[in-house]
Amino acid sequence: MSRARFFVVRSIQTVFLLWVAFTGLFFFFRFMPGDFTNLMLAEGANPDAVAEFEERWGLNDPLYIQYWRYFMNILSGDAGMSIQYRRPVWDMVNTRIFNSFILIAPGITFAYLLGSIYGSIVGTKRGSKLEEFGILPLIFVGSFPAFVTSIILVIIFSSWLNLFPTSGMISPGRQAEFAQLEWYQRYLSLEFVWHFILPFTAVMFRYLYLPTMIMRTSIVEVMGQGFAFFHRITGISKRRQLAHLARHASLPVITVYPISMTRALGGLVLIEVVFNWPGIGNTLVNAVMVRDLPIIQFVFFLVAAYIILANFLVDIVYGIIDPRVSVGAEDA
């Protein structure tokens, strides 16, 4: 089909997937055993107070009424009210979304840049000691769960060497000072950078091995092509040869990069918990502990929407870059 029709079809599919994710999450959490009212009863709340609470929050209404009300609220930008904290859900998660983003995007981007450079060098050293032993540490670290790498970093650099703080984004003694500043100023301070280094390193180590292995394999394949042989016999410098090889071998790495960005939130939850980083993953864990359904449901929907929209954007970009994109038979 034509490129324009492909874009329209993918847009419709994306909207449909967002609706499916929203609907599935709504009913999934409604049918799960245990909710905030059960927690209230377990803590000794009066049954009359629980009944009043259910009435006030509309929990006694039929499910289809609850669904329609929540659906229309989401469309109007209202994610509901936190049961535990009595604050709008969006007010609680908007800053934490940004906190997670500034941890994911730089960490994964730097990992892919560093991994591409290192993989290019290793790929050109076929049969050398660097190829034999240079990849093993990355595979070893990359095979660890994210929280294990995070704990090791805390033990070494915080407990033993006392170089970096163990948790948080701002030291507890300076919270009041930064609360008086504009919201963005904390991210420009040395205090933030000091706390940022360890979780950033944990994210980078978690994703470093994948671009390294992909780039190494791609370099080996490209080295056997005709243009690489031509560059060798013309006598251009090793550095220029490596630059040409890396440019032609980088497409698989570029392909995997947005996929890693979409899947990063799963591993980020554990990293945020270890470092007590005030991001969306840590917020989700805290909400689960107190069964704060509005926050849990909205965060899960945000993660699902993030993955769906990211894959949609990747398809659109590929459709623009590659004119061969088609679904089914091609039109003129």
Domain boundaries, the chain: 1-84+290-332, 97-289
Mean pLDDT of all residues in 297-306: 89
Helix (H, G, I), strand (E, B) or coil at 81: strand
pLDDT at residue 43 tops 80: no
Q: What is the mean pLDDT of the chain?
A: 82
Separation in Å, CA 255 to CA 250, 316, 332 = 9, 13, 27
- Name the more confident of 78 and 332: 78
pLDDT of residue 230: 61
Rounded CA gap, 236 and 242, in Å? 10
pLDDT at residue 156 tops 90: yes
**Largest Cα span, the chain:** 87
DSSP code of residue 88: B
pLDDT of residue 329: 40
Beta-bridge mates of residue 88: 81
pLDDT of residue 245: 75
Cβ neighbours, 10 Å, residue 199? 25
Mean pLDDT of all residues in 178-200: 90
- Name the more confident of 34 and 12: 12
pLDDT bucket at 50, cuts 50 / 70 / 90: low
pLDDT at residue 117 tops 80: yes
pLDDT at residue 327 tops 60: no
pLDDT of residue 312: 86
Two structure tokens written together for 4: 């324009």
pLDDT in tens, 60-103: 778 888 899 889 989 998 888 887 788 889 988 988 989 999 99
Domain 97-289 CATH assignment equals 1.10.3720: yes
pLDDT at residue 24 tops 90: yes
DSSP code of residue 49: H
- Name the more confident of 42 and 201: 201
Rounded CA gap, 84 and 120, in Å? 51
Helix segments in 32-156, DSSP class H? 36-42, 47-56, 63-75, 89-123, 129-133, 136-142, 146-153
